[in-house]
Amino acid sequence: MHRNFEVLKTIASLQIGEVAYIAEEALDYIPLKLLEMGCLPGAEVRLIQIAPLKDPIYILVNGSHLAIRQATAKKISILKESFIDEG
């Protein structure tokens, strides 16, 4: 699998409607509560909506519809689908 700057992208950099996968490296940075709610490495994550003042954001991950703050989203790195295919 390629490891270039794309890997450094986080949930915070997603566009509305965009889908990505949570990176394995993210594990140590995801708060336990979020993990328990289904926000797991390898899981598909979709950005559904951004609140009017850019924060918080509304994501769908593993069947859970969650609102999280930008500060948390910035800690969770993602992989885009194309990179998984290459790997």
Partner 1 sequence: MKDRIKVALVGNPNTGKSSLFNHLTGLNQKVGNYPGVTVDKKQGLSTLSKMHEAIITDLPGTYSINPTSEDESIVFRTLFHKDVQEYPDVLVVVADIENLKRNLLLFSQIKDLEIPTVLVINMKDLMTKKGISIDVKLLEEELNTEVVLISARNVEGIDEVKDAIVKSHVAAKTAPMCHINHKIDSDYFAKLKEITSEYSLYQLWLMVTQNNFPQNIDPEVKQKLLDFRHDISQIRRYQNKETIYRYQEINKILKKVYLVDRSKATDARSKLDKVFTHKIGGYAIFFFILLLIFQSIFDWASVPMDFIDGIFADLSGWVSSVMDEGVLTSLIADGIIPGIGGVVIFIPQIAILFMFIAILEESGYMSRVVFLMDKIMRRFGLNGKSVIPLISGTACAIPAIMATRNISSWKERLITILVTPFTTCSARLPVYAILIALVIPETEVFGFLNLQGLVLLSLYALGFAAALIASYILHKTLKIKSKSFFVVELPDYKLPSPKNVMFDVIEKTKAFVLGAGKIILSLSIVLWFLASYGPGAYDDIEQEVSSQEQFSSLSVDQKEFQIASLKLEKSYIGILGKTIEPVIRPLGYDWKIGIALLTSFAAREVFVGTLATIYSVADDEENTIKERMASEINPRTGEKLFNLPVGMSLLIFYAFAMQCMATLAIVKRETKSWKWPLIQLFGMGALAYFLSFITYNIFV
Residue 2 touches partner 1, criterion: CB under 8 A: no
Stretch in the footprint of partner 1 (CB under 8 A) among 5-13, 27-35, 78-86 = 27-35
Q: What share of residues in the chain are helix, strand, coil (percent, to 5)?
A: 30, 30, 40
> Which residues between 42 and 71 bind partner 1 (CB under 8 A)?
48-49, 51-56, 58, 62-69
- Residues found in the chain: 87
Integer Cα distance of 21 and 5 in angstroms: 15
Strand ranges (DSSP E) for the chain? 19-22, 44-50, 57-61, 64-68, 78-79
Residue 18 touches partner 1, criterion: CB under 8 A: no
Minimum separation from the CB atom of position 74 to partner 1 (A) = 14
Binding site residues, partner 1, CB under 8 A:
27-28, 30-38, 40-41, 48-49, 51-56, 58, 62-69, 72
